[in-house]
Amino acid sequence: MPLTATPTPATKLLTPLNHTLILIDFQSQMSFATQSIDATNLRNNAGLVSRAANGFGVPAILTTVAEKSFSGPMYEEITSAFPGQALIDRTSMNTWEDANVIAHVNMIGRDRVVLAGLWTSVCIVGPALSALAQGYEVYVIADACGDVSAEAHNRAMDRMVQAGACPMTSLQYLLELQRDWARAETYDITTGIAKKYGGAYGLGITYAKTMFGAHEG
């Protein structure tokens, strides 16, 4: 029997209602040694992901390691997107081993988690493998992660993908949440974030709207 196509999305696609975002250790001390991605791009992508989650109402967990004693504050690009939200500070390198973080994961109650942070090979691999082992679906925003070398980042991504994690990018995250330009309630949020954080794509939106009043919908 031939297959019959239907106009329905795959269940593997992210929506604002089916995942928890966990942003891990975007801090100064971790950033100093990050070489796999330029710091400006990393901060921009972290800001894009944060604004997307906030704009679409995705529950986010913000966690740091040794914030006061060693690693420093979380990026302002992230904290400004979630005004007033408390950061969960840890001692464990593996976020998934912190009881307070896990209490928040359980309180939110979603079985799909999206991860981004520093460093890919330590602070992202740890929770990714741990969550997968407990039956969670795991997505990793590769260009909102960084490591001490491109080799370290790439091998960490390989390891997580081989274990079952799904890799994606920051702009992909934003557009996957929108996914239909006819969704008028989040159209301005999506294009506004893209214009500010979307690089050349954002410039294209600005140009089209300015020059001939284009509208994706």
10, 49 Cβ separation under 8 angstroms: no
Q: What pLDDT score does 216 carry?
A: 64
Q: Is the pLDDT of residue 166 over 80?
A: yes
pTM of the model: 0.95
Q: How far apart are CA 78 and CA 27, in angstroms?
A: 11
Rounded average pLDDT over 125-147: 98
Classify domain 20-179 at the CATH class level.
alpha beta
Give the rounded distance of the alpha carbon of 100 from its chain centre: 20
| pLDDT score, position 163 | 98
Distance CA 62, CA 58 (A): 12
Q: Where are the beta strands (DSSP E) in 99-200?
A: 112-118, 137-146, 166-168
Domain spans in the chain, listed from the N-terminal domain onward: 20-179, 181-217
For residue 144, name the pLDDT band (cuts at 50, 70, 90). very high
Q: What is the pLDDT of residues 51-78, one digit of tens each?
A: 999 999 999 999 999 777 778 899 999 9
